[in-house]
Structure formats: C-alpha cells, structure tokens
Amino acid sequence: MAHSTVAEPRYIKLNARDNVAIVVNDFGLPAGSRFSCGLELKSFVPQGHKTALVDIAEGGPILRYGEIIGYAISPIRAGEWVDEARIRMPDAPSLDNLEIATSLPAALPPLEGYTFEGYRNPDGSVGTKNILAISTSVQCVRGTVEYAVKRIRSELLPKYPNVDDVVALTHAFGCGAAFNTPEALVPIRTLQNLALNPNFGGEVMVVGLGCEKLAPERLVPEGAENSIVRMQDEAFVGFRAIVDGIVKMAEARLTVLNQRQRETCPASELVVGLQCGGSDAFSGVTANPAVGFAADLLVRAGATVMFSEVTEVRDAIQFMTRRAVNRDVGLALVREMAWYDAYLTRGGTDRSANTTPGNKKGGLANIVEKALGSYVKSGSSPISGVLAPGEKANTKGMLFAATPAGDFVCGTLQLAAGMTVHVFTTGRGTPYGLQAAPVIKVATRSELARRWKDLIDFDAGRIATNEMTIEEAGWELFRLILDVASGRVKPWADHWGIHNDLALFNPAPVT
C-alpha cells in the first residue's frame, strides 16, 4: 500500500453518530485549515484533539465512538477545538440491572498450526524466558538479595548459558501490613503466584529474614521448604556467609534451569497480557484495535489472553457484561467493578483521577473517552473468565484480570496471573519494561514510532495514515508475538535492559 504523508488536513470520525472527530496530522492544524468535506477549523487544533463537526448547543451531548463522552459546558461551533475544559463528564454507568451474556459474539473458526518455541515446565505450563527468580518474603531483605544477585550474575550465569537471567522479586511489603484483614490476601497471593510464573521454570527460591509476619513457607509449594534461606538462621555468621548461602542455593537451581531447551509448542500455550500506558486519542483508533484483532487471533488459536485496568474499562462495563460467556462471569465483572468503586471512595477519590496530564495533552478529555478506547484492546471474543487481583489464570480464552491501571502494579499482577508475553500500547511514549516477561511496545502514532525508533517495537500509527488496515496490523502483531515468545525477536526493552521494579497492590491497612 502506498505511503501517505498526510500532508492534506485530515480527521478521523469513528462512528456515524459522532459529532466530533480527531485531527490526524502530525503536530496539529492551524486555524483556517479546510478538510475535504468543507469543514474549516476556527482555531488551532493539536494532533489527536477533537474538533466539532457540527454546532453543539450548551448541554448537548458530545459523541465519540458512537457514545456520549460528555456534555458541552457552553455552545461549541463547528470547527472549534473541543478541549477538556469544554466538556462536562457524565456519571459512570450504573452497575445495577446490566445486561449479562446477551451479546455473545459468534464463534470464529479455530486457528490451527501456529506455534512458538517455548520452555515446557513440569507442571505443564510453557515459558517464553528461562529465568531464575528469587522471591523475598519481606522488604527488609531486599538489599541483601540484590547484592547476591549481582554476584550470581557475574560469577555464576556465565557457567549456565541456557539461563537468560536471575531476577529478584523484591517489593515494599513488610511487617507493618495488617495481615488479618481481607485485603491482605491480595499482596500475599500475588507473591505466591509470582513465584510460579512459567518463565521461572518451577525452580522456586525464597529469601526471608526470620521474624516477619509473612512466613516464607507460604511462598513456596508444599514440600519445598528446602527452598528457603533465612538471614537470621544461627548457622550464618556474618553477612558474607548469608550471601554465600543464597548463592549456593541459587547455583543448585541454575543447574536445573540450564537443562531447559526451547521446543515447538502450540500457540494455545501462550499467556498474553494486554496493557496501555501514556494513552492518547489515537489509542482507540490504531494501537488498541490492532491489539484487539491480534487478541482475537490468539483466542482462536486457543491461547489465554487478559486485559485489565479497572478504571480504564469501568465506563465500558455495559459492553463487557454483554460479552460474558455466562451469568457467573458477568456477575464477577460487576463484583470487581463494585469493589474498586468502593476502594476509590474509601480513598476520597473516583475514576476521574485516572487521566494524566499526558493523556489530556494527547487529546483524551476524560476517563470516559479513555475507557472507550482502552476497552477495544479486548477484541471481540467472549469474555470467558474474571481474575481478582493476584489470582492465577486457569482458563483459556479472553479473561479480565482486575488490576489498578498503574503500569507497574498492573504488570506485576498480570505476571502473578501467569503472563508470559506482555503487549503494551502507548501514545505519549514510555520506556516501560519487565525482566520477567518480554514487553512488546506498540505506538499509536507513526510520529512517535519514528522518533523513538529504538524503543517502540510496532508502529500501529500506519492505520491512521491508511498504510495498513486494522486487520493487517493485527496479523502482523500476532506474528510478532509468536516471534518474541520464541526468542527470535528481542523487544527493545530487553535489548537495552530497561526493566521496571515490581509493584505490589496492597489495599490493606499498614499499622
């Protein structure tokens, strides 16, 4: 398809009902710019921001994606910039009397014959990396574990070439947390399930202090108590002895992991997490629809796919419950939304706090508009399951993993759910990466992909410039996911070694 420079003024209108559209041109358009339909801009409109297609009366609905994203605070003339200051945000959809399992998509034919080169584990799961993970039971031991990891990397890893890396699963959770509250279950099961991620090969190892509330035994499978190093063990005399103990235990596990070899596995063994960060108005036009199409392909191939970020889909709950495979799944979606609504209320805020200055600079007026664009990452497959924060996935298909929208908290919870490949869309740009799983970063705009040519892995902005269709981009991204899972393609975050810390979600009180 011929390359388009988009020199002529262009906008994108997504639905026949829409009375606003977003400007496509890089860096925006000045007042006086005239579109092919005859509409003339009455003021400068930045790229991705909305202009009114018709006159909108005070109090009139503003529609994008065919849905109301707000109401005009004052009259808006056709061709004017419709920025956030001119829009009153609507209330969140009620969680009462939602339609459940009423619009199940028609079954698509299965995709057969698609494979990747992965690492099979004794429990039947398949990893995309071969990593030694060292868990920690309390924040107090973090510095010691990180010191030991430096030694392991320099002294041991060269002797075990089949092992990709050693990762310290550190966190800020400690004895100050109230362990007897229901909410404490969230960080505890997150730590338990993180250690079982398929990319760690089942070689669990925990470093604890010895006096903490969260006993290290709770973080290892039953019968694996010999996988624990306690710093307060009286057998250790001095810091060097403690580190030597950690290194010795690590070497025994590296010996086992080094025997793992990639083998051909069906695409159905993949567990793919979907997320967005630094979203803009193009997120729901290019990157997220392409990811949604690729997600449908993965589901057709039998894989497990999860989308998340409660506040970023809360305003699309009415669409989600209709896609639930049954009433139980629909009610679970409502349960997680209601839990998070109450959590935000306890904190004295609501969903509107989600949108960032960068989101707004990128053209997103409010969380309603952001949610409608975020939701399309989930594609069109039936929603087959719901995971509460920290739970591990045990079903195939499209799942909703309830998580906060913060990048690092969401990524940590998806790793606990068993994610082995991460697909991350961005409009503003972010260097986000994870050590435990490869992260494929998808740009919403070609300008960002060109400017960050060695940070962005996939340019979905080509959809906006008519260089490819959503379907073509989805297929290309699907094949890239298989290549990354196989180790044939290394995402830029792994190339540079850019990896963010894990961040536990702890809604429990701290005493």
**Beta sheet of 421-426, edge-to-edge order:** 383-387, 397-401, 304-307, 271-276, 421-426, 439-443, 458-459
Contact between residue 281 and residue 49 where contact means Cβ atoms under 8 Å apart = yes
Q: How far is CA 111 from the centre of its chain?
A: 24
Taking the C-alpha atoms of residue 83 and residue 114, their distance in angstroms, rounded to an integer, is 45
pLDDT at position 15 is 96
The tens digit of pLDDT for each residue in 252-277 reads 999 999 999 999 999 999 999 999 99
User: Nearest 5°: phi and psi at 458?
Assistant: -150, 130
Contact between residue 77 and residue 45 where contact means Cβ atoms under 8 Å apart = no
Reply yes or no on whether the pLDDT at 490 is more than 50. Answer: yes
Helix (H) or strand (E) holding 228: strand 228-230
The tens digit of pLDDT for each residue in 345-393 reads 999 999 999 999 999 999 999 999 999 999 999 999 999 999 999 999 9
The tens digit of pLDDT for each residue in 465-486 reads 999 999 999 999 999 999 999 9
Confidence tier at 3 by pLDDT (50, 70, 90)? very low
Confidence tier at 5 by pLDDT (50, 70, 90)? very low
Q: How many residues does the chain have?
A: 511
pLDDT at position 108 is 86
Closest CA to 436 of 452, 416, 455: 416
The tens digit of pLDDT for each residue in 50-105 reads 999 999 999 999 999 999 999 999 999 999 999 999 999 999 999 999 999 999 98
DSSP for 326-340 reads SHHHHHHHHHHHHHH
Taking the C-alpha atoms of residue 356 and residue 369, their distance in angstroms, rounded to an integer, is 13
pTM comes to 0.96
User: Nearest 5°: phi and psi at 329?
Assistant: -65, -40
Contact between residue 12 and residue 29 where contact means Cβ atoms under 8 Å apart = no
- Taking residue 155's Cβ as centre, other Cβ atoms within 10 Å add up to 11
Reply yes or no on whether the pLDDT at 2 is more than 80. Answer: no
Taking the C-alpha atoms of residue 230 and residue 210, their distance in angstroms, rounded to an integer, is 6
Residue 205: is it exposed, middle or buried by C-beta count within 10 angstroms (0-12/13-18/19+)? buried
